[in-house]
Amino acid sequence: MGKVSHPVDDAASEVAGTLLPGAGPIAGWISSGLREEWQRLTSRALKAAESISGRSREDLEELLEQDPALMPLYMRVLWAAGMNGHDETLRAMGAVLGEAARASASGESDSVHDADQALMAMSTLTPRHFRVLRYVCTHPMRGARGKSGWIAKHVADALGLTEDRAAWCLSDLLGTGLIGSRNGAFGDPFYWATELGEAVVQASASLDDT
């Protein structure tokens, strides 16, 4: 009897083959050191997905196989594990994948589409972006979420960044849905962490403890 093919395994093999054209099955696609690092990063992402979705790894993989809308999201995470390589980026993407899995199980299709857009934007985030996100999450401005929040200059001063770099990071994070924004009375945008942004930071912190 032939080996049973599973969509989750097939997705991993497909991404591996795309990253290195001509590669065979995932178990032998690159040198052992690079393969182990890719698998480690993928595992970190899936742990965050488990934490946010409230599902075990087996239940999560079953849901990925059953819902065709989730498989492209999983493949985005696999691709980022090979191309981005930043631990915290992969944790954040895993958290978004977990939120999409939770939304899928609840029949919230719009939230799944939101997650797909967020993952596309998140694949280029760097550790600097997460320094900014963590700061905004752990130092919330009183009356934030629409009435006030952080401006780029204050974030820059707090983290030792130039104002341009802080504004750049905040703008990138805004595009992922991890941060919200509105224009202030004097023209400077206010920024605050969204619920998804707070969930991402919480998932990342919980993985630091494991």
Residue 4's pLDDT band (cuts 50, 70, 90): very low
Is 134 found in the same domain as 103?
Answer: no
Q: Which residues pair with 183 in a beta bridge?
A: 189
106-120, 153-167, 173-187, 192-206: which is most confident: 153-167
Three-state SS sequence of the chain: CCCCCCHHHHHHHHHHHHHCCCCCCHHHCCCHHHHHHHHHHHHHHHHHHHHHHCCCHHHHHHHHHHCCCCHHHHHHHHHHHHHCCCHHHHHHHHHHHHHHHHHHHCCCHHHHHHHHHHHHHHCCCCHHHHHHHHHHHHCCCCCCCCCCCECHHHHHHHHCCCHHHHHHHHHHHHHHCCEEEEECCCCCEEEEECHHHHHHHHHHHHHHCC
Same domain as 131, residue 116:
no
**Residues spanned by the domain of 96:** 7-122
Are 49 and 96 within one domain?
Answer: yes
User: Do 133 and 178 meet the contact criterion of CB atoms below 8 Å apart?
Assistant: yes
Alpha-carbon distance 157 to 67, whole Å? Answer: 45
Specify whether 32 is located in the same domain as 84. Answer: yes
Other CB atoms closer than 10 Å to residue 96's CB: what's the count? 32
Domain boundary (122, 154, 176) is at: 122
- The reply to whether 210 falls in a domain is no
Q: What is the CATH number of the domain that holds 175?
A: 1.10.10.10
Are 152 and 107 in the same domain? no
Which domain-ending residue is among 64, 95, 122? 122
Residue 1 counted as domain residue: no
Any domain includes 204: no
Does the pLDDT at position 49 exceed 80?
Answer: yes
Percentage of residues in the chain having pLDDT higher than 70: 76
- pLDDT for residue 146: 47
Q: Please check whether residue 132 lies inside any domain of the structure.
A: yes
Average pLDDT over residues 106-134: 86
- Residue 205 belongs to some domain of the structure: no
Q: Which two tokens stand for residue 38?
A: 């890719």
Q: In this structure, are 88 and 135 located in the same domain?
A: no
Together in a domain, 63 and 114: yes
**Residue 174: inside a domain:** yes
This prediction has a pTM of 0.70
* Domain boundary, last residue among 122, 148, 177: 122
- b or e along 169-184 (b: 16 or more beta carbons within 10 Å of the residue's beta carbon)? bbebbbbbbbbbbeee
15 with 103, same domain: the answer is yes
Residue 152 belongs to a domain: yes
Give the per-residue pLDDT at 24.
Answer: 47
pLDDT at 21 over 70: no
Tell me the C-alpha to C-alpha distance, in Å, between residue 81 and each of 78, 100, 130, 149, 158.
Answer: 5, 18, 17, 32, 30
Specify if 83 maps to a domain.
Answer: yes
Number of domains in the chain: 2
Same domain for 24 and 38, yes or no, is yes
Task: Answer yes or no: is pLDDT of 122 > 60.
Answer: yes
pLDDT at 19 over 70: no
- Per-residue tokens: 168: 């750049």
Tell whether the model's pLDDT for residue 144 goes beyond 60. no
Residues 191 and 110 in one domain: no
* Same-domain pairing of 117 and 150: no
- Are residue 32 and residue 104 in the same domain, yes or no? yes
